[in-house]
Amino acid sequence: MKKILITGVAGFIGSSLAEKLISSYEIVGLDDFSDYYSPSTKRQNVANLQKNKSFKIYEGDICDEKILDKIFRNHEIEKIVHLAARAGVRPSLENPGLYMKVNVLGTNNVLKYACASKIKQFIFASSSSVYGNSAKVPFSENDPLDRPISPYAVSKIVGEKLCWFYNNAHHLKKTTILRFFSVYGPKGRPDMAPYIFTRKILNNESINIYGDGSQARDFTYIDDIVDGIIKAIKKPFDFEIVNLGNSYPVLVSKLIQIIEETTGKRAKIKFQPARLGDVEKTYADISKAKKMLNWEPKTKIQEGINKFIDWLKNYNLYR
């Protein structure tokens, strides 16, 4: 079986991807189990995977070259899906140095070892945040990235540029950048709006809405994102950037309404001033993904929220 390295393997997207790939690949995972959210949650994400002989996980930081050296010495890695990153727009405003260290230096380290090992394919997880508050919608892969409004967005733009540099200057062939749009679903990050809103509504707690609720997000269900990554793995490009989004922006106020209808409970809303770093709208142009990957999302927002809430209740994770 081919060996694939997934960085950030214990996270939301990483563990979901690993579960789908484990029957086709030997998976080498790397995760630092950071405290951005509960490390125990991440350990639970990979608990079942660790029972599989085709799964090997290393605990360590992508900024630490020693752990990367160990991985590449012990395994003949053929492909890399680089998901590891410090996530979150608002926390990046409070600690931009940490985001530059992990998302830029760490990504550079992974790219350097990928080149030295002459891997066959490199996939980099980028973000819709790179588009900033672009007035042009939907967001296209060819749009200029000249107005980022958070350190997180800057770090992802630099990560993309590093991929381009290594692809051209150091012959890291077959490189694909995937820009994810507001991923949600079972095992989702607890700092994301669907998780926060659902938990608070179920617990009869107040929800803070920053702005007037007219902000819109292109919420994309986890299964669709994983399907897009797998399609990218199966179809290597010399160098491409591809949006993976639902291409259907949903107002924050509409998201709350959907959660209310699904749970049968009313939200208690407190409106607060808009916050620095929040974009007004995300909206993916997915024509390139359709054409080049034969990919398009299958999960509508109502269906995805229903599945997410079922998962949250089944595992009693909302209290």
| Prediction pTM value | 0.97
Q: What's the rounded Cα separation, in Å, for the pair 309 and 79?
A: 34
Task: State mean pLDDT over 286-306.
Answer: 98
Percent of the chain with pLDDT over 90: 92
Residue pair 9/30 in contact by the 8 Å Cβ criterion:
yes
Q: How confident is the model at residue 191 (pLDDT cuts 50, 70, 90)?
A: very high
Tens of pLDDT, residue by residue over 193-238, are 999 999 999 999 999 999 888 999 999 999 999 999 999 999 999 9
Q: What's the rounded Cα separation, in Å, for the pair 201 and 53?
A: 41
Give the pLDDT of residue 24: 95
The phi and psi torsions of 5 (rounded to 5 degrees) equal -95, 125
Residue 319 is classified by DSSP as -
Residue 128 is classified by DSSP as G
Mean pLDDT of the chain: 96
Residue pair 238/289 in contact by the 8 Å Cβ criterion:
no
* Residue 305: both structure tokens together: 């929220």
3-state class (DSSP) for residue 311: helix
pLDDT at 318 over 80: no
Give the pLDDT of residue 99: 98
Closest CA to 176 of 78, 15, 293: 293
* Residue 157: both structure tokens together: 């733009």
Q: How confident is the model at residue 277 (pLDDT cuts 50, 70, 90)?
A: confident
CB atoms inside a 10 Å sphere around CB 111: 23
pLDDT at 121 over 80: yes
Percent of the chain with pLDDT over 70: 100
Which active-site residues does the annotation give? 152
Q: How confident is the model at residue 179 (pLDDT cuts 50, 70, 90)?
A: very high
What residue has token string 């002989």?
Answer: 53
Which neighbouring-strand residues pair with 122?
Answer: 80, 175
Give the pLDDT of residue 55: 98
Task: State mean pLDDT over 89-114.
Answer: 97
Helix (H) or strand (E) holding 184: strand 183-184
Tens of pLDDT, residue by residue over 36-77, are 889 999 999 999 999 999 999 999 999 999 999 999 999 999
Burial of 257 (0-12, 13-18, 19+ CB in 10 A): middle
Give the pLDDT of residue 189: 93
Q: What's the rounded Cα separation, in Å, for the pair 237 and 258?
A: 38
pLDDT at 135 over 90: no
Closest CA to 92 of 249, 278, 297, 224: 278
What residue has token string 């209310």?
Answer: 260
Give the pLDDT of residue 21: 98
Q: What's the rounded Cα separation, in Å, for the pair 124 and 111?
A: 10
Q: How confident is the model at residue 278 (pLDDT cuts 50, 70, 90)?
A: confident
CB atoms inside a 10 Å sphere around CB 208: 11
Give the pLDDT of residue 288: 98
* Residue 213: both structure tokens together: 């609720």
Tens of pLDDT, residue by residue over 86-97, are 999 999 999 999
pLDDT at 319 over 80: no
